[in-house]
Copies of this chain bind each other. A is one copy, B any other.
């Protein structure tokens, strides 16, 4: 392979790093790929780092030590996050989104790839330091944002199901009570998907009473798994006392007024 110019190395490096967030690439990996000295690669990394920072495109971090190298973190910083969540709240405040019964239509925002990716990145940014081994969500509407959070964290996504399918193999099933409507629900997870002693991050799209999140926490306990955090896209203000005490949300839904056709949704204090 012929020798590459600096801009070629940096361009390829940024693409490779951002294709796999939170994965450590060794300097040897890049020095072999680009047929360049490690000192040259180090200089390239410094330039790539400052490009990403100055354009708020995420962070490039060097990791020292035996398992060291360089990795890309999707965190675009508090300003960009706040701007994005503000826009999201504006979008979700559209009165056209009010459904009969005072529900809020948000399926489109949750499963549009670009917004799902950005939501997932914010959620992930809160839990990097907790080092989860996987993200878990319960079907269906939370799957896209949970997948994007898992992508940003470079961990697998596990999906607990409300229905049971034979192609999942052996399951552990638990019953739980929804926090708001006090109905009994069932949730199952493939036994082979998890192993004891690992660390879970719970992600969901919506939290009202917190019953579903609590159901996932109980399920994790069945598997002897530590829950390192609970992140949701939107939490309702009421009930203030949820079944899960420790969680973070992007936005808080204060009220949906069907008669006045007004939705009151605001970025959360965690931003």
What is the interface of chain A, defined by CB distance below 8 A to chain B? 6-8, 10-12, 14-16, 18-20, 33, 47-48, 50-52, 54-55, 57-58, 99-101, 103-105, 107-108, 111-114, 116-117, 139-141, 143-144, 147-148, 150-151, 154-159, 161-163, 166-169, 190, 192-193
Contact = CB atoms under 8 A, between A and B. Distances in A.
Nearest to A144: B147
Given A11-B48, A139-B140, A140-B140, A103 B166 contact: yes
Interface centre among A101, A107, A148 (most CB of B within 10 A): A107
Nearest to A16: B57
Contacts of A107: 159, 168, 190, 193
A55 B159 contact: no
Chain A interface, >50% SS class: helix
A166 B114 contact: no
25 contacts: A7-B7, A7-B51, A8-B47, A12-B57, A15-B55, A15-B57, A16-B55, A18-B19, A19-B117, A20-B114, A99-B167, A99-B169, A100-B166, A101-B166, A105-B190, A107-B168, A108-B156, A111-B158, A112-B157, A113-B154, A113-B155, A114-B151, A140-B159, A144-B157, A147-B148
Contacts of A101: 166
A179 to B, nearest CB: 15
Nearest to A58: B15
Contacts of A147: 111, 113, 116, 143-144, 147-148
Nearest to A157: B111
A115 to B, nearest CB: 9
Contact of A193 (B108, B154, B166, B167): B108
A47 B7 contact: yes
Nearest to A167: B103
A12 B60 CA distance: 13
Instruction: Please name the 3 residue pairs, one residue from A and one from B, whose CB atoms are nearest each other, closest first.
Output: A113-B151, A7-B7, A11-B51
A38 to B, nearest CB: 19
Nearest to A21: B113
B166 A163 contact: no
A196 B161 CA distance: 32
A111 B159 CA distance: 8
A14 B14 contact: yes
A169 B15 CA distance: 40
Nearest to A143: B143
Contact of A11 (B47, B143, B156, B192): B47
